[in-house]
Homo-oligomer: A and B are copies of this chain.
Amino acid sequence: MPRPIGKISVVAVGKIRTRSWLAAQKEYVKRLGHYTNLELVEVKDVVGRGLPDEAAMQREGEQLLKAGRKAAHIVLLSPEGEQLDSPELADFLQGRIERYGRIAFLIGGPLGFSPEVIAAAHSQLALSRLTFTHELARVILLEQLYRGFTILNNEKYHK
């Protein structure tokens, strides 16, 4: 069976500033490039910069949806989402790529997603019950996408 390739957009609010997470991100973006067409988009963080919270969250939401608009399937990373284990995430990836070709994973800012983003999303996944910084959440997502592709390609990847 041919392994899915597809296109995956990871769209996140804000930049990673911590050097160690930046290095981890770079590593996993590179590794993912062997398996899929990965696009990483950072939209401007607006929350905490003077606008009222709701307006700021809405502005971030507009940018997220604009950046993810080419994807036929939008997945939110949210504490309220479904928790999959790694083989389930691999199945999820395979199924969504086969069906939709291009999928987007959206990572929100500190206040989460605006109602418009939640309404536009097709799936919601949670990485953990724990709260992570947006930087760490992004790195974990990239690592798990990579792990997912190694599972789908029957490749060894250490635990």
Chain A interface (Cβ < 8 Å from any Cβ of B): 18-24, 26-27, 83-86, 89, 110, 127-134, 136, 140, 143-144, 147, 157-159
> Do A24 and B21 touch across chains, with their CB atoms under 8 A apart?
yes
| Top-9 shortest CB links A-B | A20-B23, A128-B128, A20-B24, A110-B159, A86-B131, A85-B129, A83-B129, A20-B20, A86-B130
Q: How far is the CA of A21 from the CA of B85 in the complex (A)?
A: 22
> Do A83 and B128 touch across chains, with their CB atoms under 8 A apart?
yes
- A110-B159, A136-B140 are known contacts. Are A131 and B85 too (CB-CB below 8 A)? yes
> Do A130 and B128 touch across chains, with their CB atoms under 8 A apart?
yes
- How near does chain B come to A2, taking the closest CB pair, in angstroms? 25
Most buried by B among A128, A130, A132, A158: A130
Contacts of A85 in B (CB 8 A): 129-131
Contacts of A20 in B (CB 8 A): 20-24, 26-27
- How near does chain B come to A112, taking the closest CB pair, in angstroms? 9
Most buried by B among A19, A83, A128, A147: A128
Residue of B nearest to A21 (CB): B24
Q: How far is the CA of A86 from the CA of B130 in the complex (A)?
A: 5
> Do B110 and A131 touch across chains, with their CB atoms under 8 A apart?
no
